[in-house]
């Protein structure tokens, strides 16, 4: 692991799962007075899976993002995150399109539209997509919620890598006057697809 990124070579017919966590900086709102600031302790993780579909040779997989509350303060509904997905060419490969579809859950409000990503950009697809996720439930200490994206690549070995980065934008309630406390994480990142 280097700079919080993990890459693995995908072998046709194989599946792999790897959790990746990257510690981020506190996300304090500058306009808040010290007495209004609430400290939260989220732990963020991303797990990706891949497997080859025998019928057409596509690589299918998932990106699953988890937030767990490791603190003593409830992470409030309305907390906002951004999830950015960027398509990159795998070493020695041509660009292939990747379809990305968020699964609908009750935990998050997230756009459900399928997006097409491609490192070559338009007209083949978007190089990068950013989605806003809003937490729909209060996350009490010790609880976790997940958001999953389904991935479908045109190639059997994942010639296009997909990088996912999730960041805390603002904590819900108290006008967003929250910070990530000691032991908490404000960002996480991982790579899906063929490795170098």
Secondary structure in 3-state letters for 33-59 = CCCCCEEECEEEEEEEEEEECCCCCCE
**Cα 57 from Cα 145, distance rounded (Å):** 32
- The enclosing domain of 180 has a CATH number of 2.60.40
Tell me how many domains the chain contains: 1
Is 181 contained in some domain?
A: yes
Q: Contact, 101 vs 150, CB < 8 A?
A: yes
**Is residue 96 domain-resident?**
yes
Per-residue pLDDT of the chain (196 residues; tens, 9 = 90+): 334 333 333 333 333 333 333 333 333 456 677 777 888 999 999 888 877 766 666 778 889 999 999 999 999 999 999 999 998 876 666 677 889 999 999 999 998 899 999 888 899 899 999 999 999 999 999 999 999 999 888 765 456 788 899 999 888 866 678 888 888 999 999 888 754 3
Residue 149 domain flag:
yes
Provide the 3-class DSSP secondary structure of residue 181.
coil
In b/e form, how buried is each residue of 54-81, taking b as 16+ CB within 10 angstroms? Answer: eeeebbbbbbbbbbbbbbebbbbeebbb
Range of the domain at 36: 20-186
Quick check: is 193 in a domain? no
Task: Please check whether residue 170 lies inside any domain of the structure.
Answer: yes
Residue 68 included in any domain: yes
CB 160 within 8 A of CB 97: yes
Distance CA 178, CA 74 (A): 11
131 part of a folded domain = yes
1 belongs to a structural domain: no
């Amino acid at each position: 692991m280097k700079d919080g990124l993990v890459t693995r070579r995908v072998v046709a017919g194989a599946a792999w799962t790897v959790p990746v966590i990257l510690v981020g900086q506190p996300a304090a709102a500058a306009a808040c007075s010290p007495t209004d600031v609430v400290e939260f302790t989220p732990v963020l993780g991303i797990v990706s899976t891949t497997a080859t579909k025998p019928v057409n040779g596509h690589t299918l997989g998932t990106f699953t993002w988890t937030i767990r509350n490791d603190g003593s303060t409830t992470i409030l509904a309305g907390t906002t995150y951004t999830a950015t997905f960027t398509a990159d060419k795998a070493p020695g490969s041509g660009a292939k399109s990747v379809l990305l579809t968020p699964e609908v859950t009750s935990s998050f409000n997230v756009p459900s539209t399928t997006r097409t990503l491609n490192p070559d950009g338009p007209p083949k697809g978007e190089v990068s997509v950013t989605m806003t996720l809003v937490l729909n439930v209060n996350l009490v200490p010790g609880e976790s919620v997940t958001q999953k994206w389904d991935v479908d690549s045109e190639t059997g070995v994942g010639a296009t890598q997909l990088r996912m980065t999730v960041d805390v934008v603002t904590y819900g309630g108290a006008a967003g006057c929250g910070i990530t406390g000691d032991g908490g994480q404000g960002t996480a990142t991982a790579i899906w697809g063929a490795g170098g």
